[in-house]
Amino acid sequence: MGEFELISHYFAAASCAQAGEGVALGIGDDCALLELPVAEQLAISTDTLVAGVHFPHSPDPFLLGQRALGVSVSDLAAMGATPVGFTLALTLPSAEPDWLQAFARGLDDMAQRCAIRLIGGDTTRGPLSLTLTVFGRVPAGMALTRKGAQVGDLLCVGGELGDAAGALPLVLGQQPAESAAAEVLLARYWSPVPQLELGQALRGKATAALDISDGLLADCGHIAAASGVGLVIEQAQVPLSAALLAIAGEPLALQCALSGGDDYRLAFTLPAQYLAELQQASLPVRVIGRVVAGQGVSLLDVQGRPVQPPCSGYQHFGSARD
């Protein structure tokens, strides 16, 4: 099967590749054409996922399709954007029909959850890797960025952290994955659902935001650096799931939440006046600390004393230590 036949058979026919709002022209031409409402800006983000780095070798293709798109769309959520379309550049060792069929189903499943359209891409032969570019729209001047946190703001996250990191030994086959708690963690790793509703609700309220991909401490460090402030995290307030605590125990669960990565929950700074409104809307807002004068990220134990974490988060090049 050639490249164009592969694209036509497995991807162009998928539900997520059909015409939809904001897409004037999708798959089948040299470029896609997007339409934006008046006074809105285009948000764009690109992610590359490589076998053996971002996911295990020989993954379940259905789950890989879900994960690849979920982690990419999470960047749109972090900006408060509404998804419009995405492209996929897929590098494959070989074109195996069963693999491609399952992968395309997983990709389409996540696309339907996120209301985003496949609008183009490319395929080539080589070691398994995926590059996705996502496009979203946001009212002009309303995008959430990492710069803008103010002293006195609350530091918040969009729910429980550490589940995906806690799932890694299960994903790698280092621990049995047969319990109900294991199923919860595996779902968080393979099917991260972007917090689009929360991101859009934070427009005009949050002063800074991002999605947690490399670990809470590392990613909060990006907000602190961009905003020129310090962030204080109270470790007793970091939310942990019952499933993670059951699998890992409290000390390791906390380490997963602080530096494990792959959460794809939002972290954001918020003036206290907006907290009740967001919580009353049943949005997953958990306060874990505050913004202070200074720089960097500080961690406090249950007695309010500073503690030094073993590492801050994942880095592709160099040490994970600060």
Segment 173-177 shows an average pLDDT of 82
**pLDDT at position 310, please?**
60
Does residue 321 surpass a pLDDT of 50? no
Are residues 299 and 231 in contact, defined by beta-carbon separation less than 8 angstroms?
no
Q: What is the CATH topology of the domain spanning 3-139?
A: 60s Ribosomal Protein L30; Chain: A; (3.30.1330)
Query: Does the 154-307 domain belong in CATH 3.90.650.10?
Result: yes
Using one digit for the tens of pLDDT, what is the confidence trace for 179-224? 999 999 999 999 999 999 999 999 999 999 999 999 999 999 999 9
DSSP track, 161-209: --HHHHHHHHHTTSS---SHHHHHHHHHHH-PPP-HHHHHHTTTT-SEE
Using one digit for the tens of pLDDT, what is the confidence trace for 18-75? 877 899 998 888 899 999 999 999 999 999 999 988 888 889 999 999 999 999 999 9
Q: Where are the domains of the chain?
A: 3-139, 154-307
List the structure tokens of 108: 């389409």
Are residues 144 and 246 in contact, defined by beta-carbon separation less than 8 angstroms?
no
pTM of the model: 0.92
Does residue 17 surpass a pLDDT of 90? no
Are residues 216 and 262 in contact, defined by beta-carbon separation less than 8 angstroms?
no
Does residue 318 surpass a pLDDT of 70? no
List the structure tokens of 210: 């991002």
> In 3-state terms, what secondary structure has residue 269?
strand
**pLDDT at position 284, please?**
96
From 1-5, 231-235, 240-244, 265-269, the region with the lowest mean pLDDT: 1-5
Using one digit for the tens of pLDDT, what is the confidence trace for 264-311? 999 999 999 999 999 999 999 999 999 999 999 999 998 889 998 766
